[in-house]
Amino acid sequence: MTSVLLTGIAELVTNDPVHDGTPLGLVHDAAVVIQGHRVAWVGPRQQAPDADDARDLGGRAVLPGFVDSHSHLVFAGDRAAEFAARMSGESYAAGGIRTTVAATRAATDEQLIANVARLGAEMRRQGTTTVEVKSGYGLTVRDEARSLVIAGLITEETTFLGAHVVPPEYADDPAGYVELVTGPMLDAAAPHARWIDVFCERGAFDEDQARAILAAGGAQGLKGRLHANQLGPGPGVRLACELGLAAVDHCTFLEAADVTALAESGTVATLLPGVEFSTRSPYPDARGLVDAGVTVALASDCNPGSCYTSSMPLCVALAVREMRMTPGEAIWSATAGGARALGRDDVGVIAPGKRAHLTVLEAPSHVHLAYRPGVPLVAEVIA
């Protein structure tokens, strides 16, 4: 296996505290040796070992590839008109999902595959090297299973979200829909999914339904995560903590007991500030969560309704400017935090033995990602 020595790294974010005693694990004038698909050595340039090949990155900053732990990339059509209406003063309602469900059901496999590939490439260009992709716009046995097969073309982190919204044909029989999700739909989805997720929110699925769906998924080997407390206070965050789920996502409307539950559990609070930005809504209290000792992840929630951005750099900039995270906290949450939210220890960190997923910035420091919002600063992705 050929080894490559990378130098010319003005600042390296490792997320390995061994280097400087901080969570970000910064090394200045750093070097990294990559062997095959793994990192073999990390440290100051002067101490770097020899390697077969060498590359000088020209004084740029390097960080772990972004780990985007929450996206909905399998869909057809777009909702630009709905966005324009919302920006004209209408409010976001969960039912808008049904527009995309109709378009997704009508799409061919080829159309869905092309859209996933396009969005996956778009993420990669912006520094994302690991992405979680959910189903949830099919909502039939056939369409959920094919959505997961298609998601699996670009990632191992696939999530069954049959419980996204009750589809129109079950509007008068939500209990019947839960039976479908926990029965034949789960049977068809489980071989193609790693995770199971529920939109636990008023207008979607309540606590009892969420418990039943997560339990059924667990019985088939799927690990749980939740969409919760996005549109208002609710039981979802406390349920996720009680069940010890890897992550609970949105966390926009939290009560004190929710914050306590998160701080005392291992459940990651995944914040999705692109949603609040795109729906002109109040942001979650990231500062309060971090100060309370909660592990916070940042993710895009890329989807055609509430947040059609694939940009983790935008999420970092919003987290700093609008949610009062420091640039270092935001970078950690968009990399190591996302890895925690997916139960992964091989990504989100640059350390010996971990996957060689590196994002190279056209900038000398990670701070520029928040300092220069909207600028395409990702020079290169090594993965």
Q: Where are the beta strands (DSSP E) in 151-261?
A: 157-163, 195-200, 223-228, 247-250
Beta carbons of 323 and 292 less than 8 angstroms apart = no
Which region, judged by CB under 5 A, interacts with Zn ion, from 23-31, 54-62, 297-305, 328-336? 297-305
Which region, judged by CB under 5 A, interacts with Zn ion, from 11-19, 301-309, 346-354, 361-369? 301-309
Q: Rank residues 57 and 73 by Cβ distance to Zn ion and give the closer one.
A: 73
Q: Which of 277, 348, 280 is nearest to 315 (CA)?
A: 277
Name the minimum Å distance from CB 226 to Zn ion. Answer: 10
Q: Rank residues 75 and 332 by Cβ distance to Zn ion and give the closer one.
A: 75
Q: Rank residues 32 and 299 by Cβ distance to Zn ion and give the closer one.
A: 299
Name the minimum Å distance from CB 74 to Zn ion. Answer: 12
- Which residue is at the shortest CB distance from Zn ion? 301
Three-class SS state of 33: strand
Name the minimum Å distance from CB 227 to Zn ion. Answer: 5
Q: Rank residues 299 and 336 by Cβ distance to Zn ion and give the closer one.
A: 299
State the DSSP string of 290-330: HHTT--EEE---BBTTTB----HHHHHHHHHHHH---HHHH
Assess 301 for contact with Zn ion (CB under 5 A).
yes
Beta carbons of 204 and 164 less than 8 angstroms apart = yes
Binding mask 211-230 for Zn ion (x = CB under 5 A): --------------------
Residue with structure tokens 């069940």? 243
Name the minimum Å distance from CB 301 to Zn ion. Answer: 5
Cβ count within 10 A of residue 98: 18
Name the minimum Å distance from CB 51 to Zn ion. Answer: 41
Q: Rank residues 301 and 329 by Cβ distance to Zn ion and give the closer one.
A: 301
Beta carbons of 284 and 254 less than 8 angstroms apart = yes
347-366 binders of Zn ion (CB under 5 A): none
**Please, which residues have CB within 8 angstroms of residue 114's CB and are 6 or more apart in sequence?**
none
Regarding beta strands 223-228 and 378-382, do their DSSP bridges make them parallel or antiparallel, or are they unpaired? unpaired
Q: Rank residues 295 and 303 by Cβ distance to Zn ion and give the closer one.
A: 303
Name the minimum Å distance from CB 193 to Zn ion. Answer: 15
Beta carbons of 268 and 258 less than 8 angstroms apart = no
Name the minimum Å distance from CB 100 to Zn ion. Answer: 12
Residue numbers of the site for Zn ion (CB under 5 A)?
A: 301
